[in-house]
Amino acid sequence: MPEQPAELLDQLLLAFLAILPVVNPFAKPPIFLSITEGLTPEERKRQAFKACVYAFVILIVSLASGTLILEFFSISLPALQIAGGMLIARTAFDMLRPQREHHQTEAEEKESRGKEDISFVPLALPLLSGPGSIAVMINLSTHTELWADWLVIGVASLGVCVISYVVLIESVRLTTILGVNGMNALSKLMGFLLLSLAVQFIINGVSAAFTTLAHNLHASV
């Protein structure tokens, strides 16, 4: 039976709120400006557009192949949730301490500046769609049953990538208007949401693992 529009809207919001904090485009302007130093505004726009397209493709491929990946490597969903939660929690703690926000190493930044095209690496991968984002998409894929579920998650991913593009091309303006304090405040807000998501991941994983263990013990008695 098709889902009601209100239910789809709720799913869209939940998917959007799950993907946005882990992609976290608001923490990327300083890095983007650093590795695109020397480029014209138009060149920066092209790099940002291509990066967001690549990031969207990576997210969708992760969503579409999530179940296959788990089956191929014999990884249980609880294991993915716990590992993904721990990985996302580490990122969230870094975001809550902006002075320790993730940056490229000196070698990585030097290599990025020497490349003519930095849209795929490092912009799309891993800055926009890194391991945490992929883990979230794989987790979301395990809850998709109807075509509408896939569509909702796809639209949410597209929305996050559009926001990422706008943030990247407006990096100079955002850093000027918001300043260090404003950027740190946004980073902390995203970090809090991301930490909440990580805790929920771990709770779901541990709960599912104990449920499976209890079921196996009961079956063996």
pLDDT tens string for the chain (221 positions)? 456 777 888 999 999 999 999 999 988 998 999 899 889 999 999 999 999 999 999 999 999 998 888 888 898 889 999 999 999 999 889 888 865 444 555 555 555 555 678 999 999 999 999 999 999 999 999 888 888 999 999 999 999 999 999 999 999 999 888 887 888 888 888 889 999 999 999 999 999 999 988 888 877 76
CA distances to 9, 39, 54, 94, 156 from 49, rounded to whole Å, are 27, 14, 9, 27, 17
Global pTM value: 0.86
DSSP states of 55-72:
HHHHHHHHHHHHHHHHHH
User: Can you give the residue ranges of every domain in the chain?
Assistant: 5-220
Say if CB 206 and CB 78 are below 8 A apart.
yes
